Amino acid sequence: MFSRYKKTDARDTKTAADAAAKPAPKPDAPAAPIAEKPAPEPTAKRVEARRPAQVAPVDKERRRKERLSDIKVEMHKRLLEDLNLAALETATEKDLKSEISDITTEFLSDQGLVLNREERVALNQELYDEVRGLGPLEPLLQDESVNDILVNGPQQIFVERAGKLQLSDITFKDEKHLLRIIDKIVSAVGRRVDESNPYVDARLADGSRFNAMVPPVAVDGSLVSIRKFKKEKLGIDDLVRFGAFTEEMAAYLQAAVSTRLNVIVSGGTGSGKTTTLNALSSFIDNDERILTIEDTAELQLQQTHVGRMESKPANVEGKGAVTQRDCLRNALRMRPDRIIVGETRGEEVIDMLQAMNTGHDGSMTTIHANSARDGVSRLENMVAMAGIEMPLKAVRSQISSAVNLIVQASRLQDGSRRMVSITEITGMEGEVISMQEVFRYQRTGLTPDNKIIGHFTATGVRSHYSERFRMWGYDLPPSLFEPTNPR
């Protein structure tokens, strides 16, 4: 079986036919040489493993674990060197697993190490993950409760669960191992990462967003961040249930999106911008034509008439880049009712503002900013950076007529994600863009275990768009805009 996936030119002289004919007992040939391992160690340990007699049980267990960890490394290396990776592409999961199980059985008996069933299953799974998947990262990718995976060099992997970052007990063997996994990911999408090209963005096969930066730019070992792709995106009801905003705010947002206000979701990194944008999109009518443009396709719109675009970085020769701006310009020729840009972060801002001003009402995007006011400054800066020579007042006037609403998402210090403010842009006063906050999250304190105490409230101002809402059939009750007491 092994023969099917084994490289024909492998170091091992065993031929395919030999392997098939002699599956079980292996001649006393040594295991494949392991580069990273000090040479005399295995024999000494092997003897120990066979004669455990006088060793204290705890010590024995510890050594067994160490030995197991060594075995894993040796096996990983051996598998990767010996297997014919091209043939593996087509191997079924079942075949490959039984192949790996045969190899471990042989190898363990060679090494004189007896594993219980659980350990053996775990070892086989890890080897399978190494060959087929992303090695130590694989269990984290499978774990539904993990949102984000952050790797700071080979020995430190943080995960985010339920809004909290925790150090996991998973590690890579060393930087070489980590680099091999990074390389596997980026080469699968036709990219390269090395000293001269030290960072890369990619999308994993399951849709997760991946970014890596390797040494020497990453000083203490490669840095990796993965935003896990969720098949089931959080919807409006989930977000209300999780306390991200209230039903009243949801009713207001429904009116805003349905009546085609242009909305910007602003927030810090990982604050829930994309999730909010995705949830807001559920208020769009099913018969509208929507085009989405993203650097990494994350949005999952439920409507029927959706065209999705993903920008593309240059290839290794520096050619073939398709920017978000290219996509956006093209999108304008594709008769969209609405355009959704995953995140506006550069020169595409010009086309986004123009689209919002010229008949594509109801367009939406996100920006990286800490408040609505800050968001507007970001837009101004982006316009300036795009090299557009326009007086500031004209830029502001364009922004104020393009953007109707800024929704501020935030990840608070206790890990909870909330829509801390909904702000309307109401026009210009002199040189300044005027805005009014309609809803906000009012913090009132902190519990002894550092959970934030607070409540959502309307600010008491009447929506600038009340009349528009009413005309479109969204007659929001005045009580919706009255400040609420804590519930």
Ligand X SMILES: Nc1ncnc2c1ncn2[C@@H]1O[C@H](COP(=O)(O)OP(=O)(O)OP(=O)(O)O)[C@@H](O)[C@H]1O
Tell me which residues touch ligand X (CB under 6 A): 147, 227, 230, 234, 239, 242, 244, 267, 269-275, 417
Q: Which residues bind Mg ion (CB under 5 A)?
A: 273-274
Beta carbon nearer to ligand X, 215 or 415: 415
Helices (H), 112-225: 117-132, 137-142, 175-188
Beta carbon nearer to Mg ion, 230 or 468: 230
Q: Quick check: helix, strand or coil at residue 253? A: helix
What does 275 bind: Mg ion, ligand X, none (CB cut-off 5 to 8 Å by kind)?
A: ligand X
Q: How far is the CB of 402 from ligand X (least distance, A)?
A: 21
For ligand X, the nearest residue by Cβ is 272
Q: How far is the CB of 265 from ligand X (least distance, A)?
A: 8
Q: How far is the CB of 279 from ligand X (least distance, A)?
A: 9
Beta carbon nearer to ligand X, 275 or 311: 275
Q: Tokens for 283?
A: 């208020």
Q: Which of 70, 126, 119 is nearest to 97 (CA)?
A: 126
CA dist 332 and 317 (Å) reads: 29
Q: Quick check: helix, strand or coil at residue 454? A: strand
Q: How far is the CB of 238 from ligand X (least distance, A)?
A: 8
Quick one: 115 exposed, middle or buried, by C-beta within 10 A (0-12, 13-18, 19+)?
A: middle
Beta carbon nearer to ligand X, 15 or 413: 413
Whole-angstrom CA distances from 418 to 54, 122, 378, 452 are 59, 39, 21, 11
Neighbours of 148 (CB within 10 A): 17
Q: How far is the CB of 267 from ligand X (least distance, A)?
A: 5
Backbone φ and ψ of 356, nearest 5°: -65, -30
What does 147 bind: ligand X, Mg ion, none (CB cut-off 5 to 8 Å by kind)?
A: ligand X
Beta carbon nearer to ligand X, 60 or 455: 455
- Name beta bridge partners: 453: 445
Cα radius of gyration (the chain) = 28
Q: Which of 323, 248, 250 is nearest to 293 (CA)?
A: 323
What does 242 bind: Mg ion, ligand X, none (CB cut-off 5 to 8 Å by kind)?
A: ligand X
What does 230 bind: Mg ion, ligand X, none (CB cut-off 5 to 8 Å by kind)?
A: ligand X
Q: How far is the CB of 103 from ligand X (least distance, A)?
A: 37
Beta carbon nearer to ligand X, 3 or 311: 311
